[in-house]
Chain A
Amino acid sequence: DAGVIQSPRHEVTEMGQEVTLRCKPISGHNSLFWYRQTMMRGLELLIYFNNNVPIDDSGMPEDRFSAKMPNASFSTLKIQPSEPRDSAVYFCASRDHRNIYGYTFGSGTRLTVV
Chain B
Amino acid sequence: AQSVTQLGSHVSVSEGALVLLRCNYSSSVPPYLFWYVQYPNQGLQLLLKYTSAATLVKGINGFEAEFKKSETSFHLTKPSAHMSDAAEYFCAVGDAGNNRKLIWGLGTSLAVNP
Interface residue ranges, A against B (CB under 8 Å): 4, 33, 42-43, 45, 48, 55-56, 91, 93, 100-103, 105-108
Contacts and interface: CB of A to CB of B under 8 A. Distances in A.
B65 to A, nearest CB: 15
Interface stretch (B20-28, B69-77, B94-102): B94-102
Chain B, interface SS category = loop
Given A103-B46, A105-B43, A107-B42, A42 B101 contact: no
Interface residues of B, number: 20
Given A101-B34, A101-B49, A107 B43 contact: yes
B63 to A, nearest CB: 18
Contacts of B32: 101
Given A42-B107, A101-B34, A91 B99 contact: no
B104 A56 contact: no
A105 B36 CA distance: 10
Contacts of A56: 99, 101
B90 interface: yes
A45 B104 CA distance: 9
A101 B51 contact: yes
Nearest to B107: A42
B44 A100 contact: no
Contacts of B107: 42-43
Nearest to A33: B101
B106 interface: yes
Given A43-B90, A55-B99, A56-B99, A105 B104 contact: no
B113 to A, nearest CB: 22
A56 B97 CA distance: 13
